[in-house]
Amino acid sequence: MRNKLKLSIYLFFLLSTWTMMAQGANSNSSSLNGGSIKNQYDFLLSKSSNYLDNKVVKKDYLDKFFSNITDSIQISIKEIEDLNFAIRTHEINIDSLNSQLSQLKIELTNLKAKNNGMSLFGLLISKAVYNTLVLLTIIGLGIALIIFASRHRASFAITSKAKKSLEDTRAEFDAFKQKTLEKEQVLMRKLQDELNKNLP
């Protein structure tokens, strides 16, 4: 019975040791297979032994750690290249958008100039100049109308005066003609009377 007990205890320790070793191997591989570089480095330090003032690390652990660092560096380089490509793409897009913005600003300036201006005989002039020209034209036409009206009035007055003078002259002429006719008739009667007297 004692042998069975010893055998049981021995098997228990053997199984416990084997289980602990299996768990240690799993934790070793899982610690070096995952996690951050710092966690892997800490794991490496915890699993290394001290010799004088140095740390002794298993070559497998060191190779796995180096492989993990190399992979991390390659992944980081790939991410940096991707980010640089994205930055270049964004810079190209920004340049393109800036170019379009400049073009739109030029078009907006032209549209504002057209909106604030008028086309007169094919020339683009500002609204203020156009309004001034229109105002001057209206004032000029107003002055011309006033001058024309005053000349027309003066001409009308002269014409009216001439008509009145003509009517007065005609009336005098008619009166003169009437007097002359009367005189002629009187003279003709007298002449006829004289002729009648001188005839036997």
Query: What are 108-164's pLDDT values in tens digits?
Result: 988 887 777 777 777 777 778 888 888 999 999 999 999 999 998 888 889 988 999
pLDDT the model gives residue 8: 57
- pTM attached to this predicted model: 0.43
DSSP output for 66-89:
HHHHHHHHHHHHHHHHHHHHHHHH
Q: With 90 as the cut, is the pLDDT of residue 85 above it?
A: yes
Domain range list for the chain: 2-79, 123-198
The set of residues, in sequence order, having a beta carbon less than 8 Å from that of 61 and lying 6+ positions away, is 28, 32, 44, 47, 48
